[in-house]
Chains A and B, each alone.
Chain A
Amino acid sequence: MVPFYFGPPHKPLFGCYHEPRSGPQRQCGVILCPPLAYEYINSHRAYRQLAVRLSHVGFPVLLFDFYGSGDSGGDDELEGIPPHLSDISTAIDEIRRRSGVAKVCLVGLRLGGTLSMMAGAERGDVEGLVLWDPVVDGRVYIREMTTVHQDLLGHSFSRPKHGTTNGTALEILGFALAHSLLADLETIDLLAIRRKPAKSTLVLESDGGGGARGLSEHLKSMETRLEYQLLPGPRIWLPDREGGLLVPAPTLQSIVSWIARVQP
């Protein structure tokens, strides 16, 4: 595994490149697109495990951080959606350059899945797409994040007197979401996307209430080869009260098996 920075010098992105370790040499690279804010922190452990598992069955894998997130450059105040789509394109260019493969699969949890689908539909050259509990409706997503914040901290002695907003951003569990990002998030509606995001798509849902089934119904109307899996398990992106970081082995195995199947 090689950690490195890539992309334009004024906008460095951090990535970990996992070389294919064994098995058949796959002709497809996999890019892992993480969620944002606290969901990014909570899911990093599982993402790293997923990268290792995929590399062990022969895929070159790039796990990267969006600009303004994780180890990438940029301040904390997360900005709008278009720069994130541009980051995915930069990551695609990078894995092609490093691995020499032309085909690319995208895997994304929560908003990482949403951005992957948007990027795939915009670009039209993505082979496989894994949408793991994707955010289907941006307004619901904002509501959910606010609820999580209130549930965890709303009654705490630590609560700031003035609530969760400051002048330019919404504060959610220690992260500032810029109003420009919130405005973009509110417009997210994956059911409004009409172009197929990839040749093959896997929709994974940890519980039945996240809207992913509705999304898979919508995807059926496109020319993508679709598979929907309901895999009951913990919602690993949420803060764990014991401070743990959960790794859902069955879900990771399911993702690896599916990608290996569609990209033999």
Chain B
Amino acid sequence: MREEAILFGQTRSLVGILTDPPESVKNTNLPGMILLNAGIVHRVGPQRLYVKIARSLAELGFVVLRFDFSGIGDSRVRPDNLPFERSAVSEAQDAMNHLGSARGMDRFVLLGLCSGADTSLKTAWYDPRVVGAVLINPQGDQQDAANELNAFAVDRKISRYYWQTALRNPKSWLRAVRGEANYAAIVRALVFQLRYRYARPKRASSGMNRDPANFRSLVERGVRLLLVFSKGDAGLDYFREVYGEELQHLCSGGRMDLHVIPRSTHTFTFLRDQARLLGLVRDWAQSVTARGLEVVREAT
């Protein structure tokens, strides 16, 4: 395995690390893997997770590029006023262009955590060179979703905090006894949780959200998807609300795999959870290699 530091992009201002597989497992039929920043954490990823993923995939024969979007990590800020949602997609395409010219690749799998997953999805919609995506705790288009859905996501998050974290923390109990707690929020969380569990609440509206249609179109295009969620992540709530039973339907078609890792934080802080995530990504990459790529190649 060999790692190379590179500068690429239209003004050669994007900083990336290109990981090449060892000669013994090199396979030029495999798509290039591109890792997109998780939030504003630079290209090593939270807990250095992206380094582990990149090296692990390279051991399987993949060429992997992890890089910083403009203004993140070591990449320079863009001189234009392009909003992040557009510049990120454009720079993910720059990464594909670079692998195209440097390694002769024309098919790619995008991988990202949190906002990196959302950008992977958006880029996949725009660019037919994307044949697969690994979406780790995507948050979906929550900003543009209907207010009702946003309110639901916030309530669910707060409720989960009280039930799963605050209840176990002696400091929280101490604050409650001292009169320093937010009692209204506690009552709201309790009521929400009870209604959610026992009253079969009506589904929050997804309003004018375009996610489901876009998602469906990707699956129809033959793009292979792996979705991994931490149990209790706000993104999972969002996806379940927006997609409902369609999630299972999409999975049963064999084009999409969905896994929920129990007791994990949003960024897979514990080594135990990092190992589980790494195992899922490796297994998925191997299965895609084994049974999916030729079909995808024909489809594109």
Task: Give bound CA distance, A180 to B95, whole Å.
Answer: 39
Min CB gap B175→A, angstroms? 13
Q: List 10 A-B contacts (CB under 8 A).
A: A5-B3, A5-B5, A70-B48, A71-B5, A158-B273, A159-B263, A174-B269, A174-B270, A175-B48, A245-B41
Which residues 34-76 in A have Cβ within 8 Å of B in the complex? 38, 41, 44-45, 48, 69-71, 73, 76
Q: Which residues of B contact A23 (CB under 8 A)?
A: none
Q: Which residues of A contact B165 (CB under 8 A)?
A: 155-157
A8: CB under 8 A from chain B? no
Instruction: Say yes or no: A41 contacts B46, CB within 8 Å.
Output: yes
Which residues 71-104 in A have Cβ within 8 Å of B in the complex? 71, 73, 76
B194: CB under 8 A from chain A? no
A191: CB under 8 A from chain B? no
Q: Which residues of A contact B6 (CB under 8 A)?
A: 3
Q: Which residues of A contact B49 (CB under 8 A)?
A: 174
Taking a contact as CB atoms closer than 8 A, the residue among B5, B15, B17, B274 that contacts A174 in the complex is B274
Instruction: Say yes or no: B17 contacts A71, CB within 8 Å.
Output: yes
Instruction: Say yes or no: A3 contacts B73, CB within 8 Å.
Output: no
Min CB gap A36→B, angstroms? 11
Besides A71-B17, A157-B164, 6 other A-B contacts (C-beta < 8 A): A3-B6, A3-B15, A70-B44, A155-B165, A174-B48, A174-B268
B39: CB under 8 A from chain A? yes
Please indicate which of the listed interface residues A44, A71, A153, A244 has the most CB atoms of chain B within 10 Å of its own CB: A71
Instruction: Say yes or no: A158 contacts B270, CB within 8 Å.
Output: yes
Which residues 28-86 in B have Cβ within 8 Å of A in the complex? 39-44, 46-49, 51-52, 73-74, 76
Instruction: Say yes or no: A156 contacts B39, CB within 8 Å.
Output: no
Q: Which residues of B contact A76 (CB under 8 A)?
A: 48, 51-52
Instruction: Say yes or no: B265 contacts A156, CB within 8 Å.
Output: yes
Min CB gap A15→B, angstroms? 9
Instruction: Say yes or no: A71 contacts B270, CB within 8 Å.
Output: no
Q: Which residues of A contact B7 (CB under 8 A)?
A: 2-3
Q: Is the interface of A mostly helix, strand, loop or mixed?
A: loop
B299: CB under 8 A from chain A? no
Task: Give bound CA distance, A153 to B272, whole Å.
Answer: 14
Q: Which residues of B contact A243 (CB under 8 A)?
A: 39-40
Q: Which residues of A contact B39 (CB under 8 A)?
A: 243
**Binary contact readout B134-177 vs A (1 if CB under 8 angstroms, 0 otherwise):** 00000000000000000000000000000011001111100000
A108: CB under 8 A from chain B? no
Interface residues in B, total, Cβ within 8 A: 41
B232: CB under 8 A from chain A? yes
B264: CB under 8 A from chain A? yes
**Smallest CB gap from A151: residue in B:** B171
Which residues 199-220 in A have Cβ within 8 Å of B in the complex? none
A20: CB under 8 A from chain B? no
Q: Which residues of A contact B264 (CB under 8 A)?
A: 158
B271: CB under 8 A from chain A? yes
Task: Give bound CA distance, A47 to B96, whole Å.
Answer: 29
Instruction: Say yes or no: B265 contacts A38, CB within 8 Å.
Output: no
Please indicate which of the listed interface residues A3, A158, A244, A245 has the most CB atoms of chain B within 10 Å of its own CB: A158
Task: Give bound CA distance, A3 to B12, whole Å.
Answer: 12
A176: CB under 8 A from chain B? yes
Instruction: Say yes or no: B168 contacts A71, CB within 8 Å.
Output: no
Taking a contact as CB atoms closer than 8 A, the residue among A16, A157, A244 that contacts B263 in the complex is A157
Min CB gap A159→B, angstroms? 8
B4: CB under 8 A from chain A? yes
Q: Which residues of A contact B265 (CB under 8 A)?
A: 153, 156, 158
Q: Which residues of A contact B267 (CB under 8 A)?
A: 174
Task: Give bound CA distance, A153 to B270, whole Å.
Answer: 9
Taking a contact as CB atoms closer than 8 A, the residue among A48, A156, A244, A245 that contacts B74 in the complex is A48
Q: Which residues of B contact A175 (CB under 8 A)?
A: 47-48
Task: Give bound CA distance, A29 to B272, whole Å.
Answer: 41
Instruction: Say yes or no: B42 contacts A44, CB within 8 Å.
Output: yes
Q: Which residues of A contact B5 (CB under 8 A)?
A: 3-5, 14, 71
Instruction: Say yes or no: B47 contacts A71, CB within 8 Å.
Output: no
Given known pairs A1-B74, A174-B46, the reply for A71 and B3 (CB within 8 Å) is: yes
Min CB gap B59→A, angstroms? 13
**Smallest CB gap from B271: residue in A:** A171
Q: Which residues of A contact B274 (CB under 8 A)?
A: 174
Please indicate which of the listed interface residues B47, B51, B74 has the most CB atoms of chain A within 10 Å of its own CB: B74
Q: Which residues of B contact A48 (CB under 8 A)?
A: 73-74
Instruction: Say yes or no: B40 contacts A245, CB within 8 Å.
Output: yes
Q: Which residues of B contact A174 (CB under 8 A)?
A: 46-49, 267-271, 274
Instruction: Say yes or no: A176 contacts B271, CB within 8 Å.
Output: yes
Task: Give bound CA distance, A254 to B112, whole Å.
Answer: 37
Min CB gap A3→B, angstroms? 4
Q: Which residues of A contact B169 (CB under 8 A)?
A: 155
Q: Which residues of B contact A166 (CB under 8 A)?
A: 271
Instruction: Say yes or no: A157 contacts B73, CB within 8 Å.
Output: no
Instruction: Say yes or no: A171 contacts B73, CB within 8 Å.
Output: no
What 7 A-B pairs come out closest when comparing CB atoms? A174-B47, A157-B164, A155-B169, A3-B5, A174-B269, A155-B168, A158-B263
